Structure formats: C-alpha cells, structure tokens
Amino acid sequence: MSRDADTLRGRTAIVGAGNTRRWHAPRRTPFDQLQEAAVLALEDCGLRMSDVDGLYCALSNSGLPVLNVAERLGVKPRHADGTMVGGASFLFHLQSAMAALVNGLCDVALICYGSNQLTASGKLVAVHDPQPYETPFRPRYPLSSYALAAARHMHEYGTTREQLADVAIAARKWAMLNPDAFVRDPLTRDQVLTSHMISDPLTKADCCLVTDGGAALVLTRADRARDLPHKPVYVLGTGIAVSHRQISAMSDLATTHAVESGRRAYAMAGVSPQDIDHLMVYDAFTINTLLFLEDLGFCAKGEAGGMVSEGVISPGGRLPVNTNGGGLSCNHPGMYGLFTIIESVEQLRGHCGARQIKDVELSLAHANGGVLSSQATAILGTAATL
C-alpha cells in the first residue's frame, strides 16, 4: 500500500448529495442550478450553509467561479479550489477536498456545479486556445477530436460502428430504468447507425445529450460522517492525470491517461479492477466508454467493443456501467463529471430503485475533460470496504 493510501484512504466521506434533476429549466441560470443543488446536498446530510468552510467549483460561464459562487451562497471558505480542466474538474476537486479535510484546512467541503446549456441554446461560454494545426481543417469542437480518436481505435483494433452503437444502446437500456433520465425511448442499432452523421465516424446518436442541470456533494472527515443521517460513502482512492490540451498533441489517440489516473486511484484504495462492483465513466461520446473500459483495466486494449456487444455492461450484465443512463441518455449539462460520482453514491446507498445493483460495495467513478485531455478516477466504498 502506498504512502498516499496510508494517509488518505477512507479518512473522508461523502455525506450529502444534491441533484436538481432539472434537465430543462428555461428560467434558471447556472448559478440558480448550482445553488439549488448545494442546498439539496446540505439538507441531505443535515448541515447548513454556514457549516461550509471548503468550497470547490467550476463553471463554464464564469472566469472567477470560487468568488462568484462564494458570494452567491454566502459562504466564506477557509479553503477553496476553482481548478478548471473541463468535465473532470469535480474529481480533481474531490482529491483536493480529501487532502484539505485530512490536513485540517477545512471541516465541511462543498463541491458544486450548475449549467443551463440546453436553455442557453446549447452554448457554453468558454475560452478556447488557438489550434494552429487543427483550425485549417474546420473541425467541429469538441466532436471532431473524439471522432479522430474513434477512427484511430477502429483502425488499430478493428472496432466497428456496430460496437459503438451498442454503447449508446446499453446506456439507453439503463436510462429506461431511471425515471429521472432525460431520454427514455427504446433505441436500436439501426437508429444509431442511420442517425445524422456529425463527424465521421460519429453520428448524432453517438453524442451526449445537451441538458441543463445542477449537482453538489458534501464531504467531511470519516469520524464526523458517522453522526450524520445517511450511511457515509467513503473515498478510498483518487487519481488524476493531464496529458495535453488539443487533440493534435495527444501522444496516442487510442489510449488515454485514464491508465495513469486509474493506476493511482487503485493504488491508494488498495483494490484492482476485478474488485469493482459498479462503474461510472464519462460517456460524452460512445468511444469514451470503450476507451475507459480498456484504460481502467476492465479488459485488454481493443477488447471493449466486443465486451459491450456481448451485453456485459447492460442491465443484467456482469459489469454494470453508467447505470443512470450516462451522458448519452440521462443528462449532460456541459460538464458531466460530478454526476458520475452522484450515481456512485446513490448506488452505494442503495437508493436507485429499479436500476439498483445488488450488494454493491465498491464503485468507481471516472471523469474526462477537454478532448481526452484530463482524466480523474475516484474509488468509493461502503463501511464494509474500510
């Protein structure tokens, strides 16, 4: 076990979760969504806004998220982190909060996010760096970057369009069990394959939803967590990795730095992929699910397509993946990473109704940011895993 594991494993816990479930909310700003989620998370664990002294947030519409959110919520944090690395930001925040809590820099940490991407006509206010090697080809950002990775994976490993379609179908099958999912209609291979081509080889049905939404988590130290209303969900291990900014700088289009973030998280948690009962990965596009299944060690490189087509990740399969429906069918409000953790928490609490996984003790949540640029992995467990 690593020194990090000795220091951090299981010493903090998620005690509150808030999810607005407002995927289409025309009169709500990103700050409205964030504030509601924060209030819900604090109510969930019986704490007050005045208890919060650690603040972690990222927003695509704000250049000074910590300052704006602190003012909006009326909190005066002793520790704060506004790291912005795209959709993985909130798992970066989780690692930061974990360390701050253990070292006494704060006592109650709030991680929060809000977006109105759908009702803002699908637009995110963000500054994109110059792309001198990509702009001449007129790519559709970020979709064309993921299409490039998909094409390379297909070339190297024989991955097929049908296998990519089966990722979307698996997500939809889970969404059909989730009353809160934004899209719950049945989905067939033919519908995915004949959907409008956006950036070859990815069609519209290979792409995540565009929704509004807000989410928040509350963390505290493990000794305090036992006194709060819900059974704590312990943070056993985390790992982060950054590899590039633009896709043209990615060293291997078919392998992400989830290999590194996963390795670090497993080492801290003292577990392996074979120990994981439930998996949430950031499925902004169908290729993401295949890449992360491989890079996080759930199958060998090039085998994820066949694994998915065999029904392994679908309801009834041996590895439940993206059980809320994922970004492909449940919700995707611009930056989705926090929602992967929330579903892991709900599964570990046993609160997922028809989609609940039996006897789940260990859940892995993984998030991605940029164009496969930032990767973050968190391993969460019940008290039985300590």
Query: Tens digits of per-residue pLDDT, 369-381?
Result: 999 999 999 999 9
Q: What is the DSSP string of 342-360?
A: HHHHHHHHT--GGGPPTT-
Model pLDDT, residue 128: 56
Helix (H) or strand (E) holding 233: strand 233-242
What is the reported pLDDT for 127? Answer: 45
User: pLDDT at position 60, please?
Assistant: 83
Across 323-337, average pLDDT: 97
pLDDT over 60 at 363, yes or no? yes
Please write the tens of the pLDDT for every residue from 153-163.
999 999 999 99
Backbone dihedral angles phi then psi of residue 138, each to the nearest 5 degrees: 55, 55
Split at pLDDT 50, 70, 90, the class of 125 is very low
Distances in Å between the Cα of 276 and the Cα atoms of 18, 71, 348, 356 are: 24, 39, 12, 15
pLDDT-based confidence at residue 141 (cuts at 50, 70, 90): confident
Among the listed residues 69, 27, 29, the one whose alpha carbon sits nearest the alpha carbon of residue 49: 69
pLDDT reading at 94 higher than 90: yes
Nearest-angstrom CA–CA distance, 334 and 328 = 12
Confidence grade of residue 126 (pLDDT, cut at 50, 70, 90): very low
Residue with the two structure tokens 């730095």: 257
Q: What is the pLDDT of residues 188-225, one digit of tens each?
A: 999 999 999 999 999 999 999 999 999 999 999 999 99
pLDDT > 50? residue 120: yes
Q: Is the pLDDT of residue 3 over 70?
A: no
The residue among 111, 65, 58, 67 whose CA lies nearest residue 89 is 58
Say how far residue 106 (Cα) sits from the centre of its chain: 24
Please give the average per-residue pLDDT across 154-182, as a whole number.
Answer: 98
Residue 40 is predicted with a pLDDT of 98
State yes or no: pLDDT of 6 exceeds 70.
no
pLDDT at residue 123, rounded to an integer:
57
Share of the chain above pLDDT 70, in %: 96
DSSP tag of 321: B
Using 50, 70 and 90 to split pLDDT, how confident is the model at 134?
confident
pLDDT of residue 129: 62
pLDDT tier at 63 (50, 70, 90 boundaries)?
A: confident
- Across 359-367, average pLDDT: 98
pLDDT given for residue 130 in this prediction: 61
Per-position DSSP letters for 127-189, written without gaps between them: PPPP-TTTGGG---TTHHHHHHHHHHHHHHH---HHHHHHHHHHHHHHHTT-TT-S--S---H
Largest CA distance in the chain: 58
